[in-house]
Amino acid sequence: MLDVMRKHAQSWAIKGLFAIIIVVFILFWTAPGEKGTGLQVVATVDDATITLSEYQKSLDNIMSIYRSIYKEGLSEEALKEFKIKEKALDNLIDARLLFKEAATAGFKVSDAELVDSISGYPAFQKDNAFNKELYLSVLKANRLTPEEFEDGQKRSILIGKAGGLIKEGVKISDEEAWDTYAREKEKVNLVY
């Protein structure tokens, strides 16, 4: 599987898959609007702050994904080219904006949606069924309480709903996509 991903590392499908994975990691490990005394603020999105610790977690998650893909082939030059630091902050900002949009649109997460989401995690399953003891032990190993994890899951579901609403409103034809790609390719060649 990794060989296929390495061969097609520049394809839009692989980049899209990584974007989804990155967002999931960010949403799982960070909490929008987390505030506290003595926390260094990296950015402010409307009235919500992004702390240095949130940014560092996001950056660490992205780095671990890239390290697992590129192994020894991940150099400092490649890290700069991938703009990982910018992506980490952009992902946090996107999550804040989508969370705000979900709240503005009045989206809610039902208990059934939350249960479905949590019970679907492979890490919490034993013999293809949700296992509460395994759930609690995995959370404990990651220094999370069930309440913290469930709040994060609710945020993740809300952000997914807001993202889905935005994607539904965006329709692009194959011709428009090709024109945009060709224009971007021209810019790259001109700069080179």
* Structural domain harbouring 65: 1-94
Whether 101 is covered by a domain: the verdict is: no
Whether 102 is covered by a domain: the verdict is: no
Q: Supply the pLDDT for residue 150.
A: 92
Q: 87 and 22 in one domain?
A: yes
Q: Which residues of 118-155 are buried (b: 16+ CB within 10 A; e: fewer)?
A: eeeeeebeeeeeeeeeebeeebeeeebeeeebbebbbb
Using the structure block, give the residue that is written with the tokens 């991938």: 82
Single out the residue in 60, 94, 128 at which a domain terminates.
Answer: 94
CA distance 170 to 159: 17
Single out the residue in 94, 125, 154 at which a domain terminates.
Answer: 94
Cα-to-chain-centroid distance, residue 56 = 14
Whether 111 is covered by a domain: the verdict is: yes
Q: 138 and 51 in one domain?
A: no
Q: 77 and 143 in one domain?
A: no
Single out the residue in 70, 94, 118 at which a domain terminates.
Answer: 94
Query: Would residue 98 be called left, alpha or beta, if left means φ above 0 and alpha means ψ between -120 and 50 degrees?
Result: alpha
Domain count, the chain: 2
Whether 48 is covered by a domain: the verdict is: yes
Whether 192 is covered by a domain: the verdict is: no
Whether 99 is covered by a domain: the verdict is: no
Using the structure block, give the residue that is written with the tokens 């890239």: 66
Q: 159 and 131 in one domain?
A: yes
Question: What is the residue-level pLDDT of the chain in tens, covering all 192 positions?
Answer: 456 556 655 666 666 666 666 666 655 554 444 444 446 888 888 888 888 988 998 888 888 888 888 877 778 888 888 888 899 999 899 888 888 888 888 889 999 999 999 998 888 899 989 999 999 998 898 888 999 889 989 988 988 888 887 777 777 778 887 888 777 776 545 444
Q: Supply the pLDDT for residue 132.
A: 92
Dihedral of CA atoms 16, 142, 149, 63 in degrees, nearest 10, equals -20
